[in-house]
Structure 1
């Protein structure tokens, strides 16, 4: 243990800061007990990751971090903040305002605020009207409740902002004049994602700098987006009628339930289109009409459901020439996993899609192919997440051994602190159990995903998983050993104090 303690003590300050950055702020602060050298290093971490729940049980924090104000005032104010993440449960406007104001005064570049319950939510006006010259990325995620979404109804003044992600909020410009807009003062806003958002009736969302726009799972009665320099548009599962004017659009992902949810004006520059729908028979004319607008497209992906509809209505295609004279690649890809497995494309439909570009490459994916690809991707994603978790726990295990030594040294001088450690023991036991449960759950998820894969797709992942599985077993053993050391040391220390 002495060797490991010395190894930790000899790490450079920059490396220690990088290690601590993997944890939220509460966990980073708690590592200050590792050694006297570590005591103040957390104050220089360029990230704040705070949850309002961290400040409900003060005995979980050490003396100098009893509330969020003390955490902030203890930071090294010579270090600017690169990012701030707030997780808020309940009505904690003071908590939000305190952190937001501090972050803005220290040139924060990226901010994320997440609310977790259905209590009243007030968006922080001090943020939107701050005229911040540093904030470039902002994410606001409210609870998913259609009946009472927090409202954005006044212009924001964030001139440096380039990327904005809004989730479960209500956008309205009823209080603005016709020359203003919600984001008109966000002069550099290029990337906008609206997820599960509601846009008020006849709302016009206009911005000259929009380059990437993603409305997904939104609710619009009639809304209009004017983006003269928009390059990439991703529209997913939108409800209502959304009109988009985009004369320079080059890439379109269109994935909506039916045709009349979407109206696109200005598609002459389109080169790449992913077009998914689950259309009804009465939508056939509309589908053909919108496909004919994509006459300059070079890379076209069609949902299998669109192909199935057109295949059943080939009489409408007999007298039509192919609009795709520049097509280089055609992919047919299912939007849904359920349905017929066999994919048959009639000659009339082939002529409509490929008649003007006979040399275009064609790739057809069955629903079985898509499920296998989806499962393989999920397995790889979970394995990557598990690998990060295991690496973090290896570091924590080394820290834990060093921490046990220092706690023993501090018993005589910090009896009150040791009493807090005794109280925390039961919390730590539960935390360790949760970590092991998380690892086991990930392993089970990966096993189930691999079980359903065809052998051709499973072989490449199986070897990686076997190695990861062995590593996970070793880390779980380290966690259990660490827990024995923690609990044993604390019991011994507490008995000595009595």
Structure 2
């Protein structure tokens, strides 16, 4: 590489390091061959992104990781580590990576495990005074968890924890004081497809300063104690128990259940009474349908601070009509007569999703049209300034060049055709989504945006065709004159 002629090499080293930080570690290491100046820059990147996805040999990947760790500048702390592993790696493989990360004050760590075997993570591997953000994602493909965890972790700086496909083997309440009890600053917790195994009736989850909790499709007995919890998203086939004195700060709740039983109605009332301080409440229709008139007729509404309530059909399929008796509506809303209430049918939910999808596709199409318009206008200007081929030159080299130009032209024509096909496909998708929306002022506004975008798309596609005509016409004329 010619450093004098390369603008990237003329940047400051700090800026180059920042740019390289957006690539995985393998790509960053490859830049060391560019020149002597680049040989050691990657060693100062404060991020490690290690993946075995394109490495077939487990031994090669292990040696590669060892090389990166041993070659890296030890004076530079680590902001984040991401480790994506496929294949038959076991727990000893993780030990040097985690030890290195902890010794360099890592703040964010993500480990993604996609393989067939279980790994049991010992407590000794999760002791860090610097780690603030931890994500563990297991394998959904093989229905095997990433790890089995026997106890809580000693991670006092941790604020955000995201766990997927993790098994908790909770064995001793007294010794550990509850899951996450040693994560004294934990604020955000997500449990997705996790399982709790406990020898007692309930495992205990203790998170004294937890603010935001998301539970999706988890199972196993769990008693949650989170006295400062302010936001809860619960979309689960099973009910978890919440400590009776643990939800006084709760203000926002999204509460769904996939497979409720009729006898769960009493338990639903108990849960709703624990949500008494919420201001924004979203309930799944299946939850509300467990509340019979007989159950709520003599019970006052628990919600005295409610500002907004929304009821959505959640997990159940089909076109079941939303019908909530007046007595149950009173139970939910009489404690806060000024609260707004919205009850959505399954048709409403589909319309909301379709409208959102239409807006997203229109935004993507708008970006594509702007980019193609600029490209065409630039190319047309350049095409107008290109030097005409001297008709008197008929040597073999000139003919060869023309043939190459024809090849390039055909490639470009196919590329432009693919772009036009993409534009037309996106227009069709938007049209189909809008066609199914019920009449509303929002639909009218969205359709007006679509019509305007449709006109713009036609103009850009015409511009793309004009450019191809100009370019191909010039080549046809030049090539014919040489025959």
* 2:321 matches 1:293: no
Tell me the distance in 2 between the aligned counterparts of 1:291 and 1:378: 43
Q: Please, which runs of 5 or more residues in structure 1 have no aligned partner?
A: 342-365, 391-437, 474-498
Match of 1:102 in 2: 100
- The C-alpha deviation readout for 1:58-93, integer Å capped at 9, x for no partner, is 9999xxx95211111111111111010000112223
* Other-structure match for 2:278: 270
Deviation at 1:229, TM superposition (A): 1.3
Cross-structure match for 2:26: 26
Residues 248, 267 of structure 1: 8 Å contact kept: no
Aligned position for 2:192: 195
CA contact (8 A) 2:301 2:330 kept: no
SS in 2 for 1:8: coil
1:97 CA displacement: 1.9
- Structure 2 match to 1:485: none
| Structure 1 counterpart of 2:251 | 250
C-alpha distance in 2, partners of 1:314/1:212? 32
Q: Is 1:375 aligned to residue 357 of structure 2?
A: yes
User: Which residue number corresponds to residue 134 of structure 1?
Assistant: 130
SS at match of 1:95: helix
RMSD: 4.3
1:450 aligns with 2:430: yes
Distance between the aligned counterparts of 2:330 and 2:338, measured in 1? Answer: 20
Matches within 5 A, 1:82-231: 82-93=79-90, 94-123=92-121, 125-128=123-126, 130=127, 132-144=128-140, 150-177=147-174, 180-200=177-197, 201-220=201-220, 222-231=221-230
Q: Deviations over 1:262-318 (max 9, x none)?
A: 662532321111112336966444996899323321122221579x98964647569
1:229-281 residue CA offsets vs partner (Å, 9 max, x unmatched): 11111101x12221123122111111222373866253232111111233696
Distance 1:43 1:385 in 2: 37
Aligned pair partner of 1:327 in 328, 332, 338:
338
Q: Classify 1:281/1:52 alpha carbon distance in 2 versus 1 (closer, same or farther; 3 Å).
A: closer
The answer to whether 1:303 aligns with 2:299 is: no
Contact 2:159 2:186 in 1 (8 A): yes
Tell me, in whole angstroms, the C-alpha distance in 2 between the residues paired with 1:319 and 1:161.
42
Which residues of structure 2 form unaligned runs of 5+? 373-417, 435-443, 465-483
TM-score (ref. length: structure 1): 0.65
* CA distance in 1 between partners of 2:157 and 2:329 (Å): 54
Distance 1:450 1:100 in 2: 47
8 A Cα contact 1:248 1:266, kept in partner:
no
Deviates more, 1:286-295 or 1:208-217: 286-295
Distance 1:179 1:36, change over 3 A: closer
Cα distance between partner residues in 2 of 1:451 and 1:45: 47
Conservation of the 8 A alpha-carbon contact between 1:89 and 1:116: yes
TM-aligned CA deviation for residue 33 of structure 1 = 2.3
Q: Which residue of 2 aligns with 1:240?
A: 238
Measured after TM superposition, the shift of residue 96 of structure 1 is 2.0
Higher CA-based Rg: 2
Change (3 A) 1:285 1:5: farther
Distance change >3 Å, CA 43–CA 321, structure 1 → 2: closer
Partner of 2:7, secondary structure, is helix
Q: Distance in 1 between matches of 2:449 and 2:65?
A: 48
Change in 2 beyond 3 A, CA 1:279/1:209:
closer
Alpha carbons 1:296, 1:326 under 8 Å: kept: no
Q: Determine the structure 1 residue equivalent to 2:394.
A: none
Q: Distance in 1 between matches of 2:362 and 2:70?
A: 42
Residue 209 of structure 1 deviates from its aligned partner by: 1.2
Question: Compared with structure 1, are the counterparts of its residues 86 and 20 closer, same or farther at alpha carbon in structure 2 (3 Å cutoff)?
Answer: same
What is aligned with 2:12? 12
Q: CA deviation at 1:158?
A: 0.8
Call closer, same or farther: CA 1:178–1:142 in 2, change over 3 Å.
same
1:285/1:440 CA distance change after superposition, 3 Å? farther
Cα distance change of structure 1 residues 117 and 146 upon mapping to structure 2, 3 Å threshold: closer
Preserved contact between residue 199 and residue 223 of structure 1 (Cα < 8 Å): yes
2-structure distance, mates of 1:172, 1:322: 41
